[in-house]
Amino acid sequence: MYTRILVGFDGSEGAERALNAGLALAKALEAELHVIMVEEDLPKYAATIGEYDEVKQQRDAYFAQLEKQVHLAAQLAGVLVQTHIVAGHEVWSIVDFVKHHQVDLVVIGHQGHSTLHERVFGSTASSIVAHVPCHVLVVK
């Protein structure tokens, strides 16, 4: 049923649950598994070039650690995985990836923000569900 699965991963508890679900599904279905990690934009205004470079180095190190975590989990599960670190807005980056890579299923974690937070800022999961042209599994 699903041949290409995409997991959104940011290192949170919900994302770890989504990764585990994506690994299990990919293994059971013999599906291609992709994991996307979205780096929000770097600060546009920095006091110095050094300040910008420091933030960039911290983010690069963080995403390298996430990528290592994904590959270790995939290896333990016996699943091949392709990781993608992209810059941009998390929802629109996922939507664009899905459209350009013919993804059948997106697996994302539910973060469980407060009702007030979701009313004011919206839910990332809800936005992804609303905008991707494929099935979405929200893991709690």
- Say which CATH number the domain at 78 has: 3.40.50.620
Q: Helix (H, G, I), strand (E, B), or coil: what is residue 17?
A: helix
Residue 64 is predicted with a pLDDT of: 96
Highest mean pLDDT among 23-37, 46-60, 105-119: 23-37
| N-to-C CA span, the chain | 22
For residue 34, give its domain range. Answer: 4-139
What pLDDT is attached to residue 17?
96
Q: Is the pLDDT of residue 34 over 90?
A: yes
- Of the candidates 81, 94, 110, the residue with the CA atom closest to the CA atom of residue 38: 94
User: Number of folded domains in the chain?
Assistant: 1
- The whole-number pLDDT of residue 121 equals 43
Q: What pLDDT digit, counting tens, does each position of 88-133 carry?
A: 999 999 999 999 999 999 999 987 544 444 444 457 888 999 999 9
